[in-house]
Each structure stands twice: as structure tokens, then as C-alpha cells.
Structure 1
């Protein structure tokens, strides 16, 4: 399993999130390269989410809320509200900037922010945005909502650039779900409300369980007397090098240097975000380290599908 670490979102005085990917022991699950889990958080005490305009390249962001509401603005001209049960997916491509702010009506903020590394064939594409409200699908022992890919007979209409799966699963008390999955995929199970068992291993809240490719079914168990909730992520192992630094995904050190310079210079690569009301109109890029940045790949998993990494 991969345990989470606490990280400030958007700066040292920002709200705290629990990050499971990337970690030293695992960088990727399929093309999923970043998993943040936050809340439930009383915004009257914490101040909520307020992330000024900042850049992204080479990735897609996936926003999914359990409670609260977040206002999204980006340099593609998109102004959208992220609400519980509604998928918002932003494609950075060769460059985008966006801001994220919890709305005044939000009392409790609770959700996840996920990143997908784009393959080389798609990472220079134009910026874009998709919105989808997945319908609940009743299964024996719970309810499934498919954000991306296919699960439990439901398929998301949102296109992906590599084989992917993302689904919210709510388990009934004492229930066990036997989920048919693609054996070519590796899978990660993030626990929101638990504990939850995956293939015989118990995962606590904000922990991420990993199952290597080869599984045709996954056994997910709720051992408690109350409903449990998880997010199932999957995808074919991503074989391209991935270099993640700050909010940028690239392939080489030289690319990161150039992408950072474009942001600091305010070039047209990222565009501008209109309507953000905060005092800081753009987050400055941190200084580059004194050593060369190197790409990372998910560690090769052993043949046993029950192996955890």
C-alpha cells in the first residue's frame, strides 16, 4: 500500500491535502501520476481552497468532489463550477493556466484532485475542458459511478489519450464487491471512507492500494457497519518517461527549464485567466534545483497480482 503525506496546496498558508502519488515507492498507476485527497474540511476554520492562476503542461487534471463547490477559471476561457458527482477534466496539452477557489456557499470541502500524464502523441495538443455527470450504476453490494473508462457495464463518454479507468464506488455495510476489470491494467484503490479491504489487505482512509496487471477481478470489501467509499483508478502501465516538477509534466530537464521560463515571462504558451478575484494574480514558479531533473517511471511490479508497491 502507499500511505499519504500532508502537503500545502498552493503555498505554505494554503489548505492541506493528503498526497499518495507521486511517492518514492510508486510514481504512477497507469497514466495516473498525481493523487490528492482532501477534507472533509470546515472552510470557516481553514479558509477553504484559493489557488491563484498557475500553469500546467503535459497532463490532464481530474476534479471530483464529495461535498462543497469549487469555481474553476482557465486560460481557455472556461468558467465552470465543480460540484459533487460531476466530473471536470481539464486538458493542459502544451500549456494552460487556471485558478481554483471554493465558493462562498461551501461549508464543508471534500474531494480529490487527480492528474493524468499525457502520452507523447497528445501532450502538445491544444488545451481543452470536459464536463460529465456519471449516472449511478447499482451493483450487488454497492453503487458505481464511472468517471473515465469502463466498469460494471458502464462506459464514460469522456475521451482519454491512454487506456484509463476512474470510478467512485460506494459499498454497503458488510458488503463485498467482485469487480471485473481489464487484466492489462494496473489498479490503485484510494479510500475516502473506510477502512476497506482490497484483495485481502486492509486499507485505511487516504491510503492507496496497488494491484499489478493480470487481475481479471478485484475483491473490494467493506468490513464495517456503515457505508464505505473508494475511488478505483486504473490503466495500462505507462511506459514513457515522466518528469514532474511543480505543476509541469515533461520528459527532459531542458523542457522543464524552457516551460518554467515561459511561465515567468508571461508568454502566450499559458495564456491568461480572467476573473480571478484574489490578490495574487499568478503563482510564481519556484527556483529550479541545483541538479539536473530526471524522469521517473513506476517501478516494475512482480508477476503476482497481489503484490503491493
Structure 2
């Protein structure tokens, strides 16, 4: 997408002045699972915008009655070239991956899985979970680290409490709180913000970051722009402040940020690469390693990408067929 204005107007922001050029990204509903599919609401990626910093995927779900939806049951599947962030508000999910990590995803605590050159994992809500509510996020890895080894990390941020505001900073730095988690990608910000009813706050943020604000519980305002429930507000770089306002019901927000990611990516199913042929190879090798297809002679002698896996688990997901046309790199917007 391009600005077709023949005489564009220059905009200069003074220190402390928030950017009012806020773009609203609306969610689309996506069924996740089988006959009793759990519905997620996806705001990244979409045609209007593919990335906010290196953040490239945002699913919001719940609160869901697990007795009705069946909960989350995502069997073993692959990832390459990205990292996943699991963040819950309610419920519990069991995480298991081919890097040898088994962990519980619980509210207010970060589970970060860096896929690197390849990993497989599953996420299944626990039998004790009655309500499931959270977000699933991905960020793209830059070329210099996307073929490194996989890695898993858990972090429980301590809350930052200010008048009318509670913040949990799970990645990056905000309000004097710094996450120790290393992401192997250009600098990122990820935080849960809870605003009391009728609270307005102004946050100091990095002017070289672009930001996204998800209205998680209901309507809120971002730099004066109303953001409806499940919508994502995009704020471009250039301003060192971000103004947030909650109405009479209060608001819980997910704040994402990062330096604009300057590499084109091809994102298809659960893979991120740099071109069609690379994605084709990731798919081909996953299918062969998990026994869905025969090994391809082109991959003879290559080390396994997706690793061993504990026995006794649900059957893995096969990869869908590639489209008949070649995959093209995603533009930033």
C-alpha cells in the first residue's frame, strides 16, 4: 500500500506530543480445532498490516467456557524462523516441545519459545480449566538468528503499580520495569496494562518504536482514538508518549512495540522464511520427518529440523498443501 497523495503534508511531533495518526485494525474470527472449534480473533497479520516491529501474529481468545468450546487442543505442529509468546488471563495450558521442554502456561507469566531453525510443540488446556482466556503472539526472527538453536524460557514479571494502572512487562522495558528475557530479535516491547475505571495515563515510550494496543476487555482510547473490544490500534514511530484512557468499566490492554522490522518475510502456516522455495523445503522436511511423506532426495544428508518427541501424545498435525501459486514476501503494510 502506498500514500497516493501528490502533495503530502509533513508532520512534526514535539517532545511529549502523542501521535494522533492511529490506525485501527479489526479482528477476524478463525476456528481453532475440530468439531467444537474454539474461536480466536486475529488482528495480525492482515492485508492492511503484517508487522508491528517484529510482531507478526496476534490471536485473542476468550473468555471461553471450556465445557462448551472444548478448550484448546492444538497437537504437535512445527515452527521455523519465529518465536511464540503464550500469555494467559484465565485458565491453564500444558506446553510440550521437541526441545525437551514441558511447562504450564498460567495467567500473568510468560512462556517464550524460540523456534530458531526448527521445533515442534503442542498446547492443550488442562482438565482443571473451566474458562480459557488469553493471547497467542509470534515475532519474526531476523536473518542473523533465525537458524540458531531452539530455546524455551519462562518469566513471571513483577507488577508495576501506579495510581489507576497496573503493568506486567513481559518483554522489553516500560515504566522502569525491564524483562530479562532475550529475544534474539531487534528490540521489542510486550506488556499487559490494566487501567482502573475512568483512568487516563500517559506513558513514556521510545520514539523509534511503532506500537500496537489491543483492547482486550472492551472499549478504550489510544491517543484520543476509540478502540473497540478486540481491535488493535497501530501507532507509527515518531512520538515519545502514548496516551491511554479507560471508560467507566476500566480496561485491560496488551501493548506491543518494536523497531520497524526491515526484512521481508514469507509467512505461511506455521513457518516464516524468506521465499517460496524455503517454505517449500520446511514443509517437505516436516512431512518426511514425521512420516506423512517419503523423504525427498534433495534433503539427503541434512540434519533433522524438528527433533525427537515424547511418545503417547496426540497424533501430529499434517501440513496443508502449498498453494498452486508461488508465495510472495509480505509487505510491512
- Say which of 277, 299, 302 aligns to 2:313: 277
Provide the residue aligned with 1:178 in structure 2: 202
The residue aligned with 1:67 is 90
Determine helix, strand or coil for the equivalent of 2:282.
Answer: helix
2:275 and 2:263 map into 1 onto residues whose CA distance is: 12
CA distance in 1, matches of 2:164, 2:238: 24
**Structure 1 counterpart of 2:128, from 92, 105, 111:** 105
- Return the TM-score normalized by structure 2: 0.87
- Structure 1 residue 194: Cα displacement: 2.0
- Within 5 Å, give how 1:123-142 maps onto structure 2: 123-142=146-165
- Name 2:296's counterpart in structure 1: none
- TM-aligned CA deviation for residue 273 of structure 1: 2.8
Q: Distance in 1 between matches of 2:131 and 2:245?
A: 27
Q: Answer yes or no: is the 8 Å Cα contact 1:194–1:222 preserved in 2.
A: no
Say which SS state the counterpart of residue 193 (structure 1) adopts.
coil
* Aligned-pair CA distance for 1:8: 1.7
Q: Is the 8 A contact 1:4 1:18 kept in 2?
A: yes
1:146 aligns with 2:180: no
State the distance in 2 between where 1:139 and 1:272 align.
46
In 2, Cα distance between equivalents of 1:239 and 1:10: 34
Deviations 1:262-286 (A, max 9, x none): 01001721113325633xx110000
Maintained 8 Å contact 1:140/1:177? no
- The answer to whether 1:27 aligns with 2:63 is no
Distance in 2 (alpha carbons) for counterparts of 1:252 and 1:178: 41
Runs of 4+ in 1 over 6 A off after TM superposition: none
Q: Which residue of 1 aligns with 2:328?
A: 294
Alignment length, in residue pairs? 296
Q: Partner of 1:194 in structure 2?
A: 218
Q: Is the 8 A contact 1:10 1:52 kept in 2?
A: no
RMSD of aligned residue pairs (Cα, Å): 1.2
Q: What 5-or-longer segments of structure 1 have no aligned partner?
A: 300-309
Higher radius of gyration, 1 or 2: 2
Q: Could you list the per-position Cα deviations for residues 163-203 of structure 1 after superposition, in whole angstroms to 9, with x for gaps in the alignment?
A: 10000000011000100000000000011112110011111
The verdict on how the C-alpha distance between 1:68 and 1:166 changes in structure 2, with shifts beyond 3 A counting, is same
Aligned-partner SS, 1:135: coil
Q: Distance in 2 between matches of 1:162 and 1:275?
A: 36
Question: TM-score, structure 1 length as denominator?
Answer: 0.94
Preserved contact between residue 73 and residue 275 of structure 1 (Cα < 8 Å): no
**Residue matched to 1:302:** none
What secondary structure is seen at the aligned counterpart in 2 of 1:113? strand
Q: Distance in 2 between matches of 1:18 and 1:272?
A: 32
Name structure 2 gaps, 5 residues minimum.
Answer: 1-23, 291-303
Q: In structure 2, which of residues 224, 233, 236 is the aligned counterpart of residue 212 of structure 1? A: 236
Distance in 2 (CA, whole Å) between partners of 1:116 and 1:136 is 24
CA distance in 2, matches of 1:153, 1:183: 17
